[in-house]
Amino acid sequence: MAAFAHGFDPTSLREYDIRGIVDRTLHPRDAYAIGRTFGSMVARGGGRTVAVGYDGRLSSPGLEAALVEGAMASGIEVLRIGCGPTPMLSFASAMLKADGAVMVTGSHNPPDHNGFKMTMAGQPFFGPRIGELGALAARGDVVPEAVGGVRDVEIRPAYVARLARDWDGGARRLKIVWDNGNGAAGEVLAELVRHIPGEHTILNRAIDGRFPAHHPDPTIPRNLAQLIAAVRDGGADIGLAFDGDADRIGVVDDRGAILWSDQVMILLARDVLRALPGSTIIADVKASQVLFDEVARAGGQPLMWRSGHSPIKAMMTETGAPLAGEMSGHLFFADRWYGFDDALYAAVRLLGVVARMRTSLSVAREALPRMIATPELRFDCPDTRKFTVIEEVAARLAEEGADMATIDGVRVRNADGWWLLRASNTQAMLVARAESANHAGLERLKSALTEQLARSGVTAPDFSAESS
């Protein structure tokens, strides 16, 4: 056993995945060690199969090959689905009843980054389990070397067919612009649009791990500039964008205005609640209060929860919620779907909603209560200090009798609106956001947050930018 012992770069073992900079903090030998150790964990749990996929990054094929080699050395049968979006691997894992799944993906990170997202027995593999994997690898505590197997599985046709099956848009034909962003969804998307009525334009369809058009993160407005221009120039009804592995979605309306994830969630929640009245709808602590209020108004049970796709998935399982979402663009359907975040599936469901509307998407957006908010602000704070700062702020606010939630950092609500301060789970940073119905209220919220940071010796971020 000891001959295998492998130490990972300490920065690569994150809360939700393993991630690093290729050839600096992440190497093929790390991929082999992940396969060897994760495969051993699956085997010790009585499992025999692990599904593996990879995204379109230039480093992904090599990392995938090393990962497969390591898993096979643990006696595991590897089910290789090839290059595609992360949700396609999640679908494959469910359909093939795999005991574990590993996706090689850098998600929305820069081209020289990559990483590994994992599930085991259909459940998120995160937090302590990633720490356990690192500790087992460091000790060389793996099953005896064995000869596993490998099987190539062509899952894309079945995945596309299943996505298309839930199209429910009626007779209206939409004009749609898609921005694949040169991400891993390219081939799936090209097949999917053949099944959805309407006129389709696909931007940056080719899978290209250099991401020549723009950075693959649709939650950053500048990355949507090309999509917005195409929607406006072409008179489209809607524009949709994906991140590098298509588990995050970005949306713009017929006027080219961005719909933030919590606004998209309102439209989806109303639709789901018509069929499933009284259901729990989950959103993370960064979402607008408007979302929670609109869910309640539509007859649902709004539930605020921790940020992060793994905690959200776990809470969906616990509560039986049919829909959940995060401000980061992850949307999760358990209604008619499998509970994992899938931007392609979310797009199909959203297009159905828009196709059944009697008005344009921009009219629906403008009808929502209008709030003024800061963007999500991330600022440096040492790992050794960030959680302590949150504890200090929470303790002071508790003494003052503040109306606050502490499920993920501190979210404070008052007559002006709300402000949030939380510690990043993946970086040496604090995250802040504030929202109010008017500028004066937002300024007071910013001042309250700035004061709390100052009392803990932290310089407040630049609050000058606002979004509505």
As a whole number of angstroms, the distance between CA 398 and CA 418 comes to 16
Reading the block at residue 242, the tokens are 């994906």
pLDDT at 2: 47
As a whole number of angstroms, the distance between CA 418 and CA 436 comes to 7
CA distances from residue 186 to 156, 178, 222, 441 in whole angstroms, order as listed: 12, 10, 21, 44
Reading the block at residue 117, the tokens are 């997202």
pLDDT at 129: 96
pTM: 0.94
Start-to-end CA distance of the chain, whole Å, equals 56
**Cα–Cα nearest to 180, from 270, 256, 245, 268:** 245
Contact between 168 and 353 (Cβ < 8 Å) = no
Residue with tokens 């070397």: 145
Instruction: Render each residue's pLDDT in the chain as its tens digit; 468 residues.
Output: 447 899 999 999 998 899 999 999 999 999 999 999 999 999 999 999 999 999 999 999 999 999 999 999 999 999 999 999 999 999 999 999 999 999 999 999 999 999 999 999 988 899 999 999 999 999 999 999 999 999 999 999 999 999 999 999 977 899 999 999 999 999 999 999 999 999 999 999 999 999 999 999 999 999 999 999 999 999 999 999 999 999 999 999 999 999 999 999 999 999 999 999 999 999 999 999 999 999 999 999 999 999 988 889 989 999 999 999 999 999 999 999 999 999 999 999 999 999 999 999 999 999 999 999 998 888 999 988 999 999 999 999 999 999 999 999 999 999 999 999 999 877 789 999 999 999 999 999 999 999 999 999 998 887 765 554
Report the CATH architecture of 2-154. Answer: 3-Layer(aba) Sandwich (3.40)
Classify residue 140 as left (phi > 0), alpha (psi -120 to 50) or beta: left
Phi first, then psi: what are they for 179, rounded to 5°? -120, 105
Reading the block at residue 298, the tokens are 């539509």
Count Cα neighbours of 95 within 13 Å in the Cβ-side half-sphere.
17
CATH number, domain 372-455, options 3.40.50.720, 3.10.20.30, 1.10.10.60, 3.30.310.50: 3.30.310.50
**Cα–Cα nearest to 18, from 67, 61, 74, 90:** 67
Contact between 418 and 290 (Cβ < 8 Å) = no
pLDDT at 172: 85
**Cα–Cα nearest to 343, from 181, 153, 101:** 181
Q: Is 330 helix (H, G, I), strand (E, B) or coil?
A: coil
Query: For the chain, percent helix, then strand, then coil, each to nearest 5?
Result: 40, 25, 40
Give start and end residues of each alpha helix (H) in 248-406.
261-275, 289-297, 309-319, 343-355, 361-366, 383-400
As a whole number of angstroms, the distance between CA 70 and CA 461 comes to 44
Choosing from 40, 59, 93, 107, the catalytic residue is 107
As a whole number of angstroms, the distance between CA 241 and CA 408 comes to 28
Residue with tokens 């602590």: 285
| Residues whose CB is less than 8 angstroms from the CB of residue 338 and which lie 6 or more positions away in sequence, other chains included | 90, 91, 94
Residues of the chain with CATH 3.30.310.50: 372-455
Residues of the chain with CATH 3.40.120.10: 2-154, 158-366
Contact between 146 and 169 (Cβ < 8 Å) = no
Fold of 158-366: Alpha-D-Glucose-1,6-Bisphosphate; Chain A, domain 3 (3.40.120)
pLDDT at 308: 87
Which string of DSSP letters, residue by residue, matches 118-172?
Answer: EEETTEE--THHHHHHHHHHHHT--PPP---EEEE---HHHHHHHHHHT---TTP
The Cβ of residue 368 has, within 10 Å, a number of other Cβ atoms equal to 16
**Cα–Cα nearest to 55, from 8, 109, 13:** 109
Sheet holding 174-179: strands in order across?
198-203, 174-179, 238-242, 249-253, 258-259
pLDDT at 1: 44
User: What's the length of the chain?
Assistant: 468
Q: At what angle do helices 28-44 and 60-72 cross, to 10 degrees?
A: 40
Reading the block at residue 308, the tokens are 């992060």
The Cβ of residue 214 has, within 10 Å, a number of other Cβ atoms equal to 20
pLDDT at 147: 94
Task: Please indicate whether residue 288 is annotated as part of the active site.
Answer: no
Which H/E stretch holds residue 33?
helix 28-44
